[in-house]
Amino acid sequence: MSPSTSTRRRQADRSKATQQDVILAAIRIISEKGPEAASMQEIAREAGVTPGAIQHHFQSKATLMMHVLTTLVDENIEAGKFWPPVDMPIDTRAQTLVSNLWTLFYKQPRFISAWATYLSCRNQPVLLAHISEQRKVLQMRLHATFPTIFPELANDPALTAFINLVFSTLRGLGLLEMFAAAHEGTQEQLDCLADLIAQRCYSQNSP
């Protein structure tokens, strides 16, 4: 490797590290203080860089927010360990899926961050288009994997609607996490959702 190539690689690594620091700083601020607190100055202070450095790496706040949303979605997708083994008993499989999805995906403050970011940029068409595309990718992955975990539902004519119901319920509970009083009864609702999945599987297999 030539000295110039080595230098370029080190610069690229430093640039990537700085971008990641800025993205994570933005996520922390949004999680802890809300999207309105995520000014370029505050993000720069949290990341330990100058506002000019953020502009250099992201060009605009809108561009930075697009990277924030992509990071949030990608991290949740990569937490693929929430899919339980298909050879588990149906009840255990349903309970495990709901528990893992809740713990790794919907309960975390980062889920609230993603929605807070979405709401804060609803008047920015470019960002909304980006969010729509990211949600489409995520939805396709979830819909493709669900019937492989619950093959009992493979021939269910209303499978798409049922999967949407499961994830809509989890999203709703995730949003309610913003309100302290709403935490009461969450586990009972998650148990009911797991029972609903299991019963759906049993009903599809009944003679």
| Predicted confidence (pLDDT) at residue 103 exceeds the cutoff of 90 | no
| Burial readout 65-79 (b: 16 or more C-beta within 10 A, e: otherwise) | bbbbbbbbbeebeee
Exposure of 104 by Cβ count < 10 A (0-12 exposed, 13-18 middle, 19+ buried)?
middle
- Decide: 89 and 57 in contact? Cβ < 8 Å: no
Q: What are 164-206's pLDDT values in tens digits?
A: 999 999 988 888 877 765 567 889 999 999 999 999 999 987 6
pLDDT at residue number 87: 93
Q: What are 20-66's pLDDT values in tens digits?
A: 999 999 888 887 887 778 888 999 999 999 989 888 888 777 778 77
pTM: 0.67
- Decide: 30 and 116 in contact? Cβ < 8 Å: yes
Comparing CA positions, the residue from 70, 88, 84 lying closest to residue 145 is: 84
Task: Report domain extents, the chain.
Answer: 1-58, 60-205
* Confidence tier at 151 by pLDDT (50, 70, 90): very high
Euclidean distance between CA atoms 13 and 11, whole angstroms: 5
Largest CA distance in the chain: 72
The more confidently predicted of residues 47 and 3 is 47
* Confidence tier at 102 by pLDDT (50, 70, 90): confident
Euclidean distance between CA atoms 16 and 203, whole angstroms: 51
The more confidently predicted of residues 117 and 71 is 71
The more confidently predicted of residues 181 and 143 is 143
Q: What is the mean pLDDT of the chain?
A: 82
| Right CATH for 1-58 from 1.10.1060, 3.30.70, 3.30.9, 1.10.10 | 1.10.10
Compute the C-alpha angle 95/97/99, nearest 5°.
65
* Confidence tier at 104 by pLDDT (50, 70, 90): confident
- Decide: 142 and 163 in contact? Cβ < 8 Å: yes
